[in-house]
Amino acid sequence: MLDALPKHYILYLDSLCQLVSERKFKEVELEVLSLIEELLSHANKEDDSLMRDIVIAQIIYSDFNDYYLNWTTSRGKNAEKENTHLVSDEHSNYLIAHSTEVADMDDLLYELNNYLTDLSVKKQKEEVKYHLKCYKRYINA
């Protein structure tokens, strides 16, 4: 799956992992929101870039914990020790669990994944934009 990603997306995921390991969750949120805006700006046609967008959106939403644990292990750190500060009753996804608004971040990433996997649903893009706008209001309040 990672083979399909361009180098800048791998670097992006690695930078998210670095921020998470430093417990800079607010910065992680801002980076994710920025990525969502970028994906929305060019996700309007089906081509190779759409597949890459789907992959990175799915990693962030569904596979972030595994990616993070692999990232920590690749840096010689103890993955179990590293993830103890991330485990939360709020959400199983480390990134989402430490968001300002857990349920809203979950909704936003869920809607983004739905939109990217079926661009034919025009209303879906508006749904993602709506959730993004609402979320930005939460973190800027």
pLDDT of residue 109: 93
Rg of the chain (C-alpha set)? 15
Strands (E), the chain: none
Quote the pTM value: 0.84
Between vectors from CA 93 to CA 30 and to CA 104, what angle results, nearest 5°? 55
Q: Which of 63, 78, 91 is nearest to 21 (CA)?
A: 78
pLDDT of residue 44: 64
pLDDT (tens digit, 0 to 9) for every residue of the chain, 141 residues total? 566 677 888 899 999 999 988 889 999 999 999 989 988 887 666 666 777 788 888 999 998 988 888 888 888 877 677 666 667 777 888 888 888 888 999 999 999 988 888 877 778 888 899 889 988 888 876
